[in-house]
Amino acid sequence: MTTAESKERSSAAQPPTNAYTGISDRTQLNPIFARPGEDSDFPIDRIPDGESLPETAYQIVHDESMLDGNARLNLATFVGTWMDDHAARLYAESADKNMVDKDEYPQTAAIETRCWKIVAGLWNAPDPELAIGTSTIGSSEACMLGGLALKRRWQQARRAAGKPTDKPNLVMSSAVQVCWEKFCNYWDVEARYVPISDEHKVLDGHDLEKYVDENTIGVVAIMGVTYTGMYEPVEQISAALDRIQADSGLDVKIHVDGASGGMIAPFLQKSLAWDFRVDRVVSISTSAHKYGLVYPGLGWVVWRTAADLPADLVFDVTYLGGHMPSFALNFSRPGAQVLLQYYLFLRLGWDGYYRVQKASQDVALYLSSEIAKMPAFELWNDGSDIPVFAWQLKKGHTDNWTLYHLSERLRLKGWLIPAYPMPDNLADLTVQRIVVRNGLSRNLAESLVVDIREAVDYLDRLESPMPGEVQASSFTH
């Protein structure tokens, strides 16, 4: 073979490369997995010309997915990443169920109703039989529905009084989850953010009268602030609204965003009044795929009574041969996760949920206590609400590194622990946060403490500042 032929063959063996990313436009199959008659490489951004065996397609997708992180070491996300083998079997058996098709899957629909009534009972609805609720794709959709109900109730009251409805606003903490920003953007509602501060770390009713007026559709209280995991005191917020009503006559209701705390507080803080025991609370949402312990793709929203959900938000539809009401934003959506939630209610019971959530809280309190002992850090909170806590770099400790550098050092060991700026007037403050979920054992937590100490020791030995600023970690909700 000539040198030219060798170069030509070598060049032909290299797949084409994207000029912008430098990444190959094709994926090559390991010869061990190639089957006779099949191509050994496939395009990655268009459908291939021909078929391949399922084993081949599986191997390609399987190999690519190995590049993802280890879910057990991801302490950035609130989303559950583990269920037992029986749940996995049930998931596989019911993956084809369409939640909206209540004619074909009436038992799944019945189980959905059982679930939200169970949740209404957990949240101390005066009468779960008179409440109304629904499953959703996640807590974001549940929040959207809660916000829509608040807006529609406000519009109806304003029209009945002959008043304009063109300037609705919603009052919430500056540390609110991004889904509420989306809600206000998508549904033309002014977002009024009450800034958090060192003195007021959450929305606690302080200065609320400066933000509430006749155009306020409601106030959002968060049970487990995304940035830090702290509860917002719903009773205290309600008391502030009572004073506002006494002074102005404005009767402003509360939606509780219990994305995480909604499935923690009923078990770990049973005496805490944050739910329907507080009269101003008309709706509550939660994420079943967080501390509800279900695989991703499920949320719940419940209204105190059917009257608290405006009837004109409920569509009476005929679909796939069936006749049913619908008031979710999504139409076709998976039913498997609903069955998984019911499985967990039966499998764990109240005592089982308590023990699972308590185990996570114990690990969070252990981790926060160990981090509090380290001279480099100062805790923002300790994880005694939901099992989530945050800390900051102690002032004056070092000019050579930041929490972003620590996050990068821990990533070398596989740990994903984000660092990010706090919102609004605390934007110059960087914190680091750990979310403890089911699956982070005490043994793993002890290994994490060792890795944090080693990373801090390494950074503290630096004789000059780390070059440049590490790109801020992605903020994971």
> Where residue 269 falls among pLDDT bands split at 50, 70, 90?
very high
Please give the pLDDT value at position 3: 46
Percent of the chain residues past pLDDT 90, beyond the cut: 74
Residue 286: is its pLDDT beyond 60? Answer: yes
Residue 325: is its pLDDT beyond 90? Answer: no
| 16-20, 109-113, 393-397: range with lowest mean pLDDT | 16-20
pLDDT in tens, 401-440: 999 999 999 999 999 999 999 998 888 999 999 999 998 9
Q: How far apart are CA 245 and CA 253, in angstroms?
A: 11
Please give the pLDDT value at position 254: 98
Q: How far apart are CA 117 and CA 111, in angstroms?
A: 10
Instruction: Output phi, psi for 116, to 5 deg.
Output: -70, -25
Residue 161: is its pLDDT beyond 90? Answer: yes
Residue 225: is its pLDDT beyond 80? Answer: yes
What does the block give as tokens for 105?
């899957």
Percent of the chain residues past pLDDT 70, beyond the cut: 89
DSSP string, 25-71: SEEEPPGGG--TTS-SEEESSS--SS---HHHHHHHHHHHHTTS--G
CA angle 242, 246, 250 (to 5 degrees): 75
What does the block give as tokens for 48?
């291939």
- Is residue 25 within 8 Å of 46, Cβ to Cβ? no
Please give the pLDDT value at position 25: 76
Q: What is the number of H-type helices and E-type strands within the chain?
A: 11, 15
Enter the DSSP assignment of 17.
B
Please give the pLDDT value at position 45: 84
Higher pLDDT, 179 or 30: 179
Q: Which of 346, 348, 338, 435 is nearest to 138 (CA)?
A: 338
Q: What's the whole-number mean pLDDT along residues 59-73? A: 85
> Where residue 12 falls among pLDDT bands split at 50, 70, 90?
very low
Please give the pLDDT value at position 263: 98
pLDDT in tens, 235-244: 999 999 999 9
Please give the pLDDT value at position 62: 87
Sole residue written with tokens 């917020």: 237
Residue 88: is its pLDDT beyond 60? Answer: yes
Please give the pLDDT value at position 212: 98
Please give the pLDDT value at position 17: 61
In sequence order, what are the residues at sequence separation of 6 or more whose Cβ sits closer than 8 angstroms to the Cβ of residue 390? 227, 228, 229, 379, 380, 381, 431, 432, 433, 434
What does the block give as tokens for 247?
């002074």
344-352 contacts at long range (C-beta below 8 A, 24 or more positions apart): 344/87, 344/292, 344/293, 344/294, 345/115, 345/118, 347/84, 347/86, 348/293, 350/267
- Is residue 263 within 8 Å of 292, Cβ to Cβ? yes
Buried b / exposed e over 282-308, threshold 16 CB at 10 Å, is bbbbbbbbbbbbbbebbbbbbbbeeeb
Residue 136: is its pLDDT beyond 80? Answer: yes
Residue 126: is its pLDDT beyond 50? Answer: yes
Could you tell me the end-to-end alpha-carbon distance of the chain, in angstroms, rounded to an integer? Answer: 58
Q: How far apart are CA 59 and CA 175, in angstroms?
A: 42
Type of residue numbered 237: I
Please give the pLDDT value at position 69: 80
Buried b / exposed e over 448-467, threshold 16 CB at 10 Å, is bbebbeebbeebeeeeeeee
> Where residue 23 falls among pLDDT bands split at 50, 70, 90?
low
Please give the pLDDT value at position 7: 43
Q: How far apart are CA 437 and CA 330, in angstroms?
A: 28
Please give the pLDDT value at position 341: 98
> Where residue 56 falls among pLDDT bands split at 50, 70, 90?
confident
pLDDT in tens, 184-200: 999 999 999 999 999 99
Please give the pLDDT value at position 22: 57
Q: How much of the chain is in helix, strand and coil states, percent to nearest 5?
A: 40, 15, 45
Q: How far apart are CA 378 and CA 71, in angstroms?
A: 27
- Is residue 419 within 8 Å of 432, Cβ to Cβ? yes
Distances (CA, A) of 411 to 226, 366, 399, 452, 456: 21, 21, 21, 11, 13
> Where residue 353 falls among pLDDT bands split at 50, 70, 90?
very high
Residue 476: is its pLDDT beyond 50? Answer: no
Mean pLDDT value across the chain: 90
Q: How far apart are CA 348 and CA 360, in angstroms?
A: 15
Please give the pLDDT value at position 79: 93
What does the block give as tokens for 467?
């070059």
> Where residue 11 falls among pLDDT bands split at 50, 70, 90?
very low
Please give the pLDDT value at position 149: 97
Beta-ladder partners of 222? 257
Element (H, E) at 135: strand 132-136
Residue 245: is its pLDDT beyond 90? Answer: yes
**468 — alpha (psi -120 to 50), left (phi > 0) or beta?**
left
